[in-house]
Amino acid sequence: MNQSLVKVSIFTFACLALVQASEPEKINFESIHHDHPATVALLDEVNKKCPEITRLYNLSEPSVQGRELIVIEMTEEPGKHIIKKPEFKYIGNMHGNEVVGKEMLLRLIVYLCEEYIAGNNLVTYLLKHTRLHIMPTMNPDGWQKAYEEYKENGTVSWLNGRSNANGVDLNRNFPDLNNKVYAHEQSETGRNNHVMKMEKALELNSDLQPETRAVMKWLAEIGFVLSSNLHGGDLVANYPYDETRSGDSQDYTASPDDKTFVYLAKSYSYFHSKMADPTRKPCDRKSGDSFKDGITNGGAWYSVGRGMQDYNYLETNCFEITLELGCDKFPPEDRLESYWQDNAVALLNFMLQTHIGIKGVVSNSAGEPVANAEVKVTDFSTGDLVDHDVLSLQGGDYYRLLSDGSYQVTVGADGYHPSVKCVVVKNDMYVGSNDAKEAALLDFTLTPSTEAKPDDAEVSARCEQLQSKAGAESDVPEEVNDVESEEAKVMELTEAEERQVLQELLSYMDGRINWSSLSPNLALSDLYYALSVELGNLDPKTRLEFMRLLPTQMRQQLMSQQ
């Protein structure tokens, strides 16, 4: 427990230290609004400074006015997909007059390059285990239009430059897959993923803009796992679905992965210096939204049809959220540094979430990869199938983001018997963690349907055992092909041990009281109440990380106090 307390006490310091640049020779970065030539020049400078971890490429089509949609790839061994190494992307400036995201991504790119050279452990880990793709601007034409007004007036009107050069809002221009999947839900037929082939979508949607088409082709080419689309005009992490099922303008519309999306949204908001602050005033101080925990379901906020966020989820394996980074869409240059201080840790933390859940390789009994195998998940805490599958990639590798919990995973493909395994997921990927772990590894071998179906009685028995313990968590994600972990057994505390832990925690958090003398005279429920009061005094992200370090039974007791 002492080690856990040390982790908590150094958490804030560790986060702040991560955003401090190191000593090696720096890239010439200025906190300014970079026009398109300056953006390309900066990316080229980073590529020359860090050639071993970067690659520049353009999407398949330029913007309406001919500006290339440039992407920088950042990873060890760039230029190729590596099995079991997940793909991540950031997209900025989809709305041309919402510029903070673009500048934060440029600053992030420089930071990753410089800190990799300096030997920053977190950055090295991230680039070793993740393939990052960062596109600072999806709408350079809209940016240019907004910038012209900014140069002339020092401010930009609310909508000027939002759309592309054809006057089209790119976040209302993707194929509408929501209504298609909602119809599938009603009829209990049809696909729950990869709803429409990209070629068919391009054929049916003649109004698609070149920027939209380019992104659609990009998504079809690379097996992205996690993504965020950076916007401005408010301060919140927004998650699917964006378009309501009911057709109402505001209606909470949960996706099948609602629990995981909430987890992902909080992984940004809790690590942002202001986003989850309950005392923060809303952007519109008269009638603005106050977002609990700094997050919102898209449909609950306002319905958006044909958006990029929902398209990612319904057409690919990628989970995308939308980040609104501030009230001011086009702030003065002298405020950009403060935006970086607000967002730096959160940007890093969100990239780490590419490693939550499970991953593995699907192969056949001959050891050959099986592409397009369906990975289905049942959540033991509810007993329900999560009605959204992911597909294995060409190399047989798959990546399934999941929040903490116990799951049954079923993998199937045409011509093969399905294979079932069970897993306990306990995610430990966050900035400040000393025990960061990649996604739990869960490989599958499929037997051809022409052969006898393998005997899975032992696996079934163990899955039933896990299901009976639904709600319990393991400290280490692992296949339930093995016995229950000894570490998990150790964390089942006796009442005396539980009392001792509570006493230590309270002594640590409030040294003014002699808890060692007071504790024996109080009921356990009184000690839990006192601890819940102390936790309530912490900022949201520190409170979250503190809770994550506690044994399951203690977390459950604390939750009952709220």
Look up the CATH number of the domain holding residue 479.
Answer: 2.60.40.1120
Query: Both 472 and 516 in a single domain?
Result: no
Q: What is the pLDDT of residue 14?
A: 43
- Domain end point (choices 458, 489, 520): 489
Q: Which of 103, 115, 324, 374 is catalytic?
A: 324
Alpha-carbon distance of 326 to 233, in angstroms, equals 6
Do 177 and 204 contact (CB within 8 A), yes or no? no
CA dist 182 → 116, 176, 253, 374, 527 (Å)? 45, 11, 11, 20, 48
pLDDT at 478: 44
* Domain shared by 154 and 58, yes or no: yes
Cα of 526 vs its chain's centroid, Å: 37
Per-residue confidence (pLDDT) for residue 561, from 0 to 100: 56
Spell 49-71 as b/e; 16+ CB within 10 A means b.
bbeebbeeeebebbbbeebbbbb
Same structural domain, 277 and 308: yes
Query: Angle at the Cα of 108 (from 105 to 112), degrees rounded to 5?
Result: 140
368 located within any domain: yes
- Helix (H) or strand (E) run with residue 440 in it: strand 440-441
- 335 in a domain, yes or no? yes
Query: 142 and 173 in one domain?
Result: yes
Mapping DSSP onto H, E and C, the string for 238-250 reads EECCCCCCCCCCC
| pLDDT value of position 457 | 79
> Same structural domain for residues 244 and 366?
no
158 to 150, 239, 333, 399: CA distances (angstroms): 12, 23, 18, 39
| 9 within domain boundaries | no
**Cα dihedral value 326, 331, 332, 333, nearest 10:** 60
pLDDT of residue 560: 60
Please give the chain's pLDDT, 562 residues, in tens. Answer: 233 322 323 343 345 455 554 555 689 899 999 999 999 999 999 999 999 999 999 999 999 999 999 999 999 999 999 999 999 999 999 999 999 999 999 999 999 999 999 999 999 999 999 999 999 999 999 999 999 999 999 899 999 999 999 999 999 999 999 999 999 999 999 999 999 998 999 999 999 999 999 999 999 999 999 999 999 999 999 999 999 999 999 999 999 999 999 999 999 999 999 999 988 889 986 556 779 999 999 999 999 999 999 999 999 999 999 999 999 999 999 999 999 999 999 999 999 999 999 999 999 999 999 999 999 999 999 999 999 999 999 999 999 999 999 999 999 999 999 999 999 999 988 887 766 789 999 999 999 999 999 888 778 887 888 888 775 443 444 443 333 333 333 345 778 878 888 887 888 777 778 787 787 878 888 888 888 878 877 766 677 767 766 776 777 677 665 5
Q: Say which DSSP state 222 is in.
A: S
- Kindly give the interhelix angle for 2-18 and 495-509, rounded to the nearest 10 degrees: 40
Question: φ and ψ at 359, to 5 degrees?
Answer: -155, 165
Q: What is the largest CA-CA distance in the chain?
A: 75
Both 275 and 395 in one domain: the answer is no
324 classed as catalytic: yes
Cis before 241? omega within 30: yes
Number of Cα atoms under 13 Å in the Cβ half of residue 534: 21
User: Quick one: pLDDT at residue 556?
Assistant: 67
User: Do 476 and 541 share a domain, yes or no?
Assistant: no
Q: Please tell me whether residues 246 and 307 are part of one structural domain.
A: yes
- Position 13 in a domain: no
Would residue 333 count as lying in a domain? yes
Q: What is the DSSP letter of 107?
A: H
pLDDT for the residue numbered 347: 98
Check whether residue 456 and residue 509 sit in a common domain.
no
Q: Is residue 26 part of a domain?
A: no
Distance CA 100, CA 296 (A): 20
SS3 assignment, position 425: strand
* Residues composing the chain: 562
End residue of a domain, out of 333, 355, 377: 355
**pLDDT score for 346:** 96
Place of tokens 């509408």: 176
Q: How far is CA 467 from CA 385, 406, 474, in A?
A: 13, 8, 13
Question: By the 8 A CB rule, do 233 and 324 touch?
Answer: yes
Domain that holds residue 551: 492-561
Q: Distance (Å, rounded) from C-alpha 266 to C-alpha 291?
A: 12
**In DSSP terms, which residues pair with 408 in a beta bridge?**
378, 422
Quick one: 530 and 406 in the same domain?
Answer: no
210 within some domain: yes
In a domain, 21, yes or no: no
At residue 385's C-alpha, the angle toward residues 384 and 389, to 5°, is 160
Range 301-305 contact pairs with CB under 8 angstroms and sequence separation of 24 or more: 301/236, 301/238, 301/250, 302/249, 302/250, 303/242, 303/243, 303/244, 303/247, 303/248, 303/249, 303/250, 303/251, 303/253, 304/171, 304/172, 304/242, 304/243, 305/172, 305/176, 305/178, 305/242, 305/243
- Give dist(CA 295, CA 275) in Å, integer: 8
Q: Is 489 exposed, middle or buried (0-12, 13-18, 19+ CB in 10 A)?
A: exposed
User: 410: which residues sit within 8 A by CB, 6+ positions away?
Assistant: 375, 376, 377, 378, 418, 419, 420
Could you say which of 426, 460, 489 is where a domain stops?
A: 489
> Rounded to the nearest 5°, which phi and psi values hold at 543?
-60, -40
Question: CB burial class (10 A; 0-12, 13-18, 19+) of residue 413?
Answer: buried
Q: How many domains does the chain have?
A: 3
Residue type, 388: H
357 DSSP assignment: S
Same structural domain, 282 and 400: no
Residue 119 in tokens: 């030997």
Helix segments in 361-483, DSSP class H: 457-468
Same domain, 344 and 482: no
CATH number of the domain that residue 274 is part of = 3.40.630.10
